Amino acid sequence: MPNVPLFIKACLAEPVDRIPVWLMRQAGRYLPEYRKIREKHPFLHVCKTPGLATEVTLQPIERFGMDAAILFSDILLILEAMGVDLVFDEKVGPRLGRTGTVEEQVDSLSIPDPEQELGYVLDAIRQVKSSIQEGVALIGFSGAPFTLATYLIEGGTSRDFYATKCFMYQQPVIFQGLMEKLVSALEPFLKAQVRAGVDALQLFDTWAMILSPADYSEFVLPHMQRLVAGVKDEGVPTIHFSLGTSTLLEEMVQIGAHVLSLDWKIDIGEARSRLGPTRSVQGNLDPFTLFQEAEKLEKRVLENLDKGSPWPGYIFNLGHGVHPKTPVENVERLVEVVHNYPVRQTEQGSQG
């Protein structure tokens, strides 16, 4: 029986003797060793060079000893593989190119063969797996169809998502067709990541927060259900990430992912009571907590641990990515506090 990583046990709500921890964007600009690589290579070049992507993926594991690594890549790369121009502008962030109308673009999107068009992602997974420490899980990921659709329609990030919402309401059939097409591209990509070696899959739905429960149920939920059901047979846990969506928790449960990643706007104890003892959660410290002095940071981490861990199925994380200006020593302290936390979980979920 191979050793099941602690992180995977927590995803599956199995008992653990220590709370696993990793942080979104744990490989990034707050780390001097990452900045050193970025001085020499543009972001997309790092993503597309398996040796560099592997090195960067493992940097935070080597420095802090997290329980999971997330592959260094980006959710927007699949859109490039589908035929959309992608550039990362240092100042404005990602820009996606389009000629013609959204309808024409939806038509022209291709369904990539992951081994052919995203082979660099799969090669990076294989390389990470060959050098990662035993017991440390590797997380693969993709954007969720809705968040990818917003980037495609807006051409980048947006303040009010005017174009996305107008398109969704005015062209619902084409919008649903776009979501279906994205699912058809994402499913083989996620399966290929599992076959290349990832131990879990995280789906990033950063912009789901802009939808009402009714619109979420109509335009997003069925596609998420199809995607999660489609990758289920690969046998690895799935994690659903979103932000500002505590008003949608009950809808999000219906996606069928093993783990819900929560942001800091909901009390994690309340989220666990609402979701029940069998649904695993990940989160949910405010990334800016890491800018406080050590004692206050420690207090917040311990409060989160107390509230999140009355029963199995809890992964410590931030509610969103590590900010690029985060002091490195505070990340180190955070991981230490989580690792030293004594677990007092009960199987039934009574908080006693």
Measure the CA angle with vertex 42, ends 331 and 111; round to 5°: 100
Shortest separation between residue 276's beta carbon and ligand CP3, angstroms: 26
Helix (H), strand (E) at residue 318: strand 314-318
End-to-end Cα, the chain, rounded Å = 33
Q: Which is closer to ligand CP3, CB of 157 or CB of 217?
A: 157
Q: Which is nearer to ligand CP3, 13 or 82 (CB)?
A: 82
The residue annotated as part of the active site, out of 18, 29, 98, 226, is 29
Q: Is the dihedral of CA 136, 272, 221, 100 positive or negative?
A: negative
Catalytic one of 30, 34, 74, 216 = 74
What is the DSSP track for 101-149? -HHHHHHH-----HHHHSHHHHHHHHHHHHHSPTT-EEEEEEE-HHHHH
State phi, psi for 149 to the nearest 5 degrees: -60, -40
Quote the least distance from Cβ 335 to ligand CP3, whole Å: 15
CA 50, 51, 52, 53 torsion-angle sign = positive
User: Of 228 and 322, which CB lies nearer to ligand CP3 in the complex structure?
Assistant: 322
- Minimum distance of ligand CP3 from residue 200's CB (angstroms): 13
Buried b (16+ CB within 10 A) or exposed e, 131-140: ebeeebbbbb
Q: Is the CB of 27 or the CB of 102 nearer to ligand CP3? A: 27
Binding site for ligand CP3 (CB under 6 A): 24-29, 38, 43, 70, 72-76, 88, 93-94, 141, 157, 204, 206, 321
Distance in Å, CB of 124 to ligand CP3, minimum: 11
Marked catalytic residue, from 18, 25, 95, 226: 25
13 or 281: CB nearest ligand CP3: 281
Residue nearest ligand CP3 (C-beta atom): 206
User: Among residues 265 and 269, whose Cβ is nearest to ligand CP3?
Assistant: 265
d(CA 48, CA 231): 24
Cβ 350 to ligand CP3 shortest distance, Å = 35
Question: Residue 214's Cα: distance from chain center in Å?
Answer: 24
Annotation says 74 is catalytic: yes
Burial of 173 (0-12, 13-18, 19+ CB in 10 A): exposed
Report in angstroms how near the CB of residue 75 gets to ligand CP3 at its nearest. 4
Helix, strand, or coil here: 158? coil
b/e map 20-49, b = 16+ CB within 10 Å:
bbbbbbbbbebbeebeebbeeeeebebbbb
Q: Does the active-site annotation cover 29?
A: yes
Catalytic residue among 30, 34, 151, 314: 151
Catalytic site positions: 25, 29, 38, 74, 151
